[in-house]
Amino acid sequence: DEDIAAALKHCEAAESFNHKEFFTKVGLAGKSTEDLKKAFYFVDQDKSGFIEEDELKLFLQTFSAGARALTDKETKAFLAAGDVDGDGMIGVDEFATLVKA
């Protein structure tokens, strides 16, 4: 909980979100692939099997309801970093790769 709070505080300002730093600060970067899959399904709000742009926009709010939404620029950069196959969504394997990168 402390790690999540610190990571959220670090990216409070608009345009300050960096997915690599965030994943490291909350401890996801060091997790097993199995744990990352569990985290993926937590972020996949509509349970479609993919994280779409609208879910990425609200990514920080999956960790804390009071967190800000990502800006359009941050959301598009986050999606571009994780969407390896270019389908406009992040699948579970793409998410695991993104977190470990």
CATH number at 39 reads 1.10.238.10
Residue pair 91/100 in contact by the 8 Å Cβ criterion: no
Q: Is 55 annotated as a binding residue?
A: yes
Please count the structural domains in the chain: 1
The residue-averaged pLDDT of 38-65 equals 96
Q: Is 54 annotated as a binding residue?
A: no
Confidence of residue 101 (pLDDT cuts 50, 70, 90): confident
Whole-number average pLDDT of the chain? 96
The SS3 call for residue 61 is helix
Element (H, E) at 90: strand 90-91
Query: What percent of the chain has pLDDT above 70?
Result: 100
Q: Is 85 annotated as a binding residue?
A: yes
Q: Per DSSP, what are the bridge partners of residue 50?
A: 91
Q: Is 87 annotated as a binding residue?
A: yes
Report pLDDT digits (tens) over 75-100. Answer: 999 999 999 999 999 999 999 999 99
Domain residues for the domain of 42 are 2-100
Of the CA atoms within 13 Å of residue 1, those in its CB half-sphere come to 0
Q: Is 74 annotated as a binding residue?
A: no
Distances (CA, A) of 56 to 2, 59, 82: 22, 5, 11
Q: Is 35 annotated as a binding residue?
A: no
Closest CA to 43 of 100, 94, 101: 94
Q: Is 48 annotated as a binding residue?
A: yes
The residue-averaged pLDDT of 11-23 equals 96
Say which DSSP state 17 is in. -
Whether the pTM exceeds 0.85: the reply is yes
Q: Is 46 annotated as a binding residue?
A: yes
